Amino acid sequence: MRKLLVLCLIVFLVSCKDKDKDAAVDPDFAPGFVGSYNTTTVDGITTTVQDWDITTTEKNILAINYTKSIKVAVSGTVITAVQIFPLVNVKATAEDSFTIDEVVDVQQTTQNALRQRLQGVATKVTNAAGKAQLNITLDYTTSSTGVKEEAYLEFKKK
């Protein structure tokens, strides 16, 4: 009888293990992307400096203050324009990636109103210099015309 009672107690203890300990935890990937990143591209007479200041707003949600400074050298004159894309609902989907899919009213130094949809999946890598880098093919679609531009960018952590 005593052996049966001990056996029942062991079976009970094993079957009543802590369920919370084994429960899958939904990880928050967003903090792994927080920081300042930048890239510079040159295309003929146009130089573009782009900055991403990334913060986290809630679990797996990022905000990116995306600033694009454009300089065009024409006949000894430099023409500049600045565009700011306030991205507020970027989804961190994994430890090494996040997805941008937002329509934004672009703030810019020119007089024209501009609304664009930005789409792309950024991948976090470590570059040859050992620094964090975010690689993305970013699509910009202008809402009023449907014209789409695509850019491959490598943002290096500052």
Instruction: Please count the CA atoms within 13 angstroms of the CA of 136 that sit on its side-chain side.
Output: 24
pLDDT of residue 20: 53
pLDDT band at residue 21, thresholds of 50, 70 and 90? low
Please check whether residue 146 is in contact with residue 156, taking contact to mean a CB–CB distance below 8 angstroms: no
- What's the whole-number mean pLDDT along residues 129-138? 96
Q: Do residues 100 and 117 touch, judged by C-beta distance below 8 A?
A: no
What is each CA distance from 60 to 20, 47, 152, in whole angstroms? 22, 33, 24
How confident is the model at residue 4, as a pLDDT?
44
List the beta bridge partners of residue 144. none
DSSP SS3 for 26? coil
Evaluate whether 118 touches 98 at the Cβ level (below 8 Å): no
Looking up tokens 């470590």 gives 126
Answer for the pair 57, 88: CB distance below 8 angstroms, yes or no: yes
Spatial separation of the C-alpha atoms in residues 50 and 63, rounded to whole Å: 16
What are 69-90's pLDDT values in tens digits?
A: 999 999 999 999 999 999 999 9
pLDDT digits (tens, 9 = 90+) for 42-69: 999 999 999 999 999 999 999 999 999 9
